[in-house]
Amino acid sequence: MQEKIIILDFGSQVTQLIARRVREQNIYCEIYPYNKLPEIDETVKGVILSGSPYSVRDEESPNPDLSIIPDGMPVLGICYGAQFLAHTNGGDVYQSDTREYGRANLSYVDNSNPLLKGIPSDSQVWMSHGDTINTPPAGATIICSTEDVKVAGYQFDGKDIFGVQFHPEVYHSKDGATMLKNFLVDVCKCSQDWTPDSFVDTTVADLKEQLGNDKVVLGLSGGVDSSVAAMLLHKAIGSNLYCIFVNNGLLRKNEFGAVLEQYKGLGLNVKGVDASSKFYEALADLSDPEKKRKAIGNAFIEVFDDESHLIEDVTWLAQGTIYPDVIESVSATGGPSATIKSHHNVGGLPDYMKLKIVEPLRSLFKDEVRRVGRAMGLDDELLGRHPFPGPGLAIRILGDVTAEKVRLLQEVDAIFINGLKDNGLYDDVWQAGAMLLPVKSVGVMGDERTYENAVALRAVESTDGMTADWVHLPYEFLAKVSNDIINKVVGVNRVVYDISSKPPATIEWE
Ligand code: XMP
């Protein structure tokens, strides 16, 4: 049985960061909303209580009954978590005179305490709280302090229950990773055996058991998630996995053939379906972005449905859903949010398909998916590929889409992307692409006046696509790419570079 740490989410913006830090120690963990604590069985080695935007003194603040955590189970409260443990156990939590945000240095550290083993006496920590613990809870001892915060950390005497008011999970807490490791390894006795290889082994074994001799259909997109999901399933059930890779006519230049070859080289049982004309027909005369997305989604469902009906007795649909899509996080504006984001790589399939869903990656973050892919021998080119939207170039062609516009944008995009690769810039960029603008502008080529298309280039840095900033690509590089595009792509006489961040702009233009 996989041992794990449970993280109870009280709504902090950095709860996912706690999970990342735990997993970086090769220890598996799961996040739950504070009021949905799962059953604590023998696989659970410890519980971490997150921070929160609430004050424990607020009436509507999270107030779970933690008595279901068995006696003797290690617990670490972080920020709100520490204040909650203090408040509910006879400690005093006050609104602090000075809100405590930002860097602070410890001024007292009890190095004999297991949580603080090896922590320098002036270690920098990151504070972010409006309340402060004035007196520690009954039967607890202060284990570290800063100049301003006497109860920076405490432990219940004789118990493995700790609280720290700073955030060890954030980068600015210089020794935060050591503190978490001390808790996880020395206190919780986690064995640090959750590695990409062990994930592959256990997941493949689980899939074998779950799927037996059943047939599974999976829509490949050329992206990292669907590819890694396919490889795991392939290892588990071999030729009972039927992959479908649809050419919607909106992919990058030559991408359909190249990716299809790559998949076949990996031994996948994959069928390439060229449905470009169906998608162009569905898009004809549509220029509203949402209508375009819908038309593409519907066309995809039709193609996928037709293809999966050709597979006899298929009973499962595999999806490349990953952990950020399934975490039910606590919203800052009250209660755990009722909605779990559900992201369907295949665009949401109609109920009548009646397929059961299997999602081998639903416990992994994106970079963990990459590491698992690498452990299974997928090459860096596939694993390092920039994200590419399902509706493809259609949402980078502003207004109506035609095959001719797609061809033109494919040429522009290929020059830009190959330029990034040739100049060693591709891996510094999270996502890049070109937009075909619905404007023509005047130019001059030789002695001729031209009146042609304008294109915009966009390159952003981001971690998850939720926020992004434009990349400061070298001027020399932009000059060269612009020149190449205008000289080589007939029909384009102007190139601009998008310098907007998200928010307020989005990454895609539609
Ligand atoms: P925006 O434009 O919202 O994009 O800043 C954020 C990320 O999501 C991708 N994106 C999509 N992916 N279907 C997808 O599969 C879509 O309809 C879609 N729209 C945007 C976008 O490429 C970026 O990575």
Q: Which amino acid is at 268?
A: L
Give me the pLDDT at residue 343, please. 37
Distances (CA, A) of 99 to 130, 147, 347, 433: 5, 14, 46, 43
* Secondary element (H or E) of residue 429: none
Active site (annotated) includes residue 167: yes
Averaged pLDDT, 122-134: 92
**Structure confidence at residue 346 (pLDDT):** 42
How far apart CA 221 and CA 283 sit, in angstroms, is: 20
The region of weakest confidence among 88-92, 335-339, 487-491 is 335-339
Question: Average pLDDT in the 128-156 region?
Answer: 95
26 vs 91: CA distance, rounded Å: 34
Taking a C-beta distance cutoff of 8 angstroms, is the pair 337, 328 a contact? yes
C-alpha distance across the termini of the chain, in Å: 46
CB atoms within 10 A of CB 239: 10
Query: Can 169 be counted among the known catalytic residues?
Result: yes
pLDDT digits (tens, 9 = 90+) for 177-193: 999 999 999 999 999 99
The residue type of 153 is G
* Residue 389 CB–ligand 1 contact under 6 Å: yes
Q: 426: which DSSP letter?
A: G
What's the pLDDT score for residue 339? 36
325 confidence band (pLDDT: 50, 70, 90): confident
Q: 195 CB contacts (<8 Å, ≥6 apart)?
A: 26, 375
Residue of 508, 509, 510 to test ligand 1 pocket, by largest number of atoms within 8 Å of CB: 508
Band (345; pLDDT cuts 50, 70, 90):
very low
Torsions phi, psi for 47 (to 5 deg): -130, 135
Give nearest CA residue, ligand 1 atom 12: 389
CB of 431 closer than 6 angstroms to any ligand 1 atom: yes
Other C-beta atoms closer than 10 Å to the C-beta of 151 total 26
Residue, of 213 and 129, whose pLDDT is higher: 213
pLDDT reported for residue 326:
80
β-strands 140-146, 92-109: how paired?
Answer: antiparallel
Radius of gyration over every alpha carbon of the chain, rounded to an integer in angstroms: 27
Find the mean pLDDT for residues 291-308.
94
Q: What is the pLDDT of residues 387-400, one digit of tens each?
A: 999 999 999 999 99
Which tokens sit at 129?
Answer: 């709280």
Ligand 1 pocket test, candidate residues 319, 386, 507, 510, most atoms within 8 A of CB? 507
Whole-angstrom Cα distance, residue 229 to residue 362? 10
- The answer on pLDDT for 493 being more than 60 is yes
Q: Return the residue whose CA atom lies nearest to atom 21 of ligand 1.
A: 389
Residue 99: the pLDDT is: 66
When mean pLDDT is compared across 132-136, 322-326, 413-417, the lowest value belongs to 322-326
Over residues 105-118, mean pLDDT: 98
Determine which one of 3, 29, 79, 386 is catalytic.
79
pLDDT over 80 (residue 85) = yes
Catalytic residue among 87, 129, 167, 234: 167
> Is residue 144 annotated as a catalytic residue, yes or no?
no
Q: Measure the CA–CA gap between 80 and 371, rounded to whole angstroms.
A: 33
Q: Which two tokens stand for residue 379?
A: 């090459």
Q: Which of 100, 169, 411, 510 is catalytic?
A: 169
* Protein residue with least CA distance to atom 22, ligand 1: 389
Q: Per the structure block, which two tokens stand in for 327?
A: 């975490």
302 half-sphere exposure, CB direction, 13 A CA radius: 12
DSSP-derived letter for residue 184 is I
Element (H, E) at 95: strand 92-109
Angstrom distance (rounded) from CA 75 to CA 108 = 22
Residue written as token pair 């190959």: 418
Q: Is the pLDDT of residue 334 over 60?
A: no
Kindly report the protein residue whose alpha carbon is nearest to atom 10 of ligand 1.
Answer: 389
pLDDT of residue 352: 61
3 state SS for 233-254: HHHHHHHHEEEEEEECCCCCCC
| Nearest of 461, 393, 456 to residue 427 by alpha carbon | 461
Residue 289 in contact with ligand 1 by CB distance below 6 A: no
Predicted pLDDT of residue 338: 38
Average pLDDT of the chain, as a whole number = 93
Average pLDDT over residues 368-376: 96
Determine the average pLDDT of the residues in 159-177.
96
Contact 176, 48 (CB under 8 A): no
Q: What are 13-62's pLDDT values in tens digits?
A: 889 899 999 999 999 999 999 999 899 999 999 999 999 999 999 998 99
Question: How much is the pLDDT for 469?
Answer: 95
81 pocket-lining for ligand 1 (C-beta < 6 Å): no
pLDDT given at position 332: 52
The residue whose two tokens read 């559900």 is 342
Please give the Cα distance from 495 to 436 (Å, whole number). Answer: 10
The reply to whether ligand 1 has any atom less than 6 angstroms from the CB of 293 is yes
> Is the confidence at residue 348, as pLDDT, over 50?
yes
Over residues 107-117, the mean pLDDT reads 98
For range 109-138, the mean pLDDT? 95
Ligand 1 atom 9: residue of nearest CA: 389
Percent of the chain with pLDDT over 70: 95
pLDDT of 130 reads 85
Give the confidence band of 342 by pLDDT, cuts at 50, 70, 90.
very low
Which pTM value belongs to this model? 0.87
Confidence grade of residue 147 (pLDDT, cut at 50, 70, 90): very high
